[in-house]
């Protein structure tokens, strides 16, 4: 599940920034949206600019991943498919993490 947040005004911009911080803190996901025809006043455009700038700053620090919802859903599905396989021998403990798209030892 990916919660969404309707950003439509300067007041909701502050809430969106708080939600970005909370999402980062819990390693979660969020979809911030509005219909393009609804964002037309200078205040609405400024609100979106503020939130996008903040999100870009968080992305640049490595704290936030910005992606289309379909890409996020694909990532969540790949994580759900992960399994851990013990490939240890008598001298070395080693595990493989596998899913249908990736293998890491």
Average pLDDT, rounded, for the chain: 86
CA-atom Rg of the chain in angstroms: 19
Dihedral (CA of 65, 68, 69, 72) sign: negative
Q: What is the pLDDT of residue 105?
A: 47
Phi/psi for 89 (5° steps) reads -115, -170
Q: What is the pLDDT of residue 50?
A: 96
Q: How confident is the model at residue 1 (pLDDT cuts 50, 70, 90)?
A: low
Summarised one tens digit per residue, pLDDT across range 52-69 is: 999 999 999 999 999 888
Dihedral (CA of 75, 62, 6, 36) sign: negative
Q: What is the pLDDT of residue 6?
A: 93
């Amino acid at each position: 599940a990916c919660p969404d947040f309707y950003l439509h005004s300067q007041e909701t911009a502050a809430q969106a920034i708080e939600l970005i911080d909370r999402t980062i803190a819990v390693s979660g996901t969020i979809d911030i949206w509005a219909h393009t025809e609804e964002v037309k006043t200078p205040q609405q455009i400024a609100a979106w600019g503020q939130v996008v700038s903040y999100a870009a700053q968080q992305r640049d620090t490595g704290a936030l991943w910005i992606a289309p919802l379909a890409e996020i859903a694909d990532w969540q599905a790949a994580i759900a498919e992960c399994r851990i396989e013990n490939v240890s021998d008598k001298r070395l403990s080693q595990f493989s993490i596998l899913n249908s798209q990736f293998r890491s030892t």
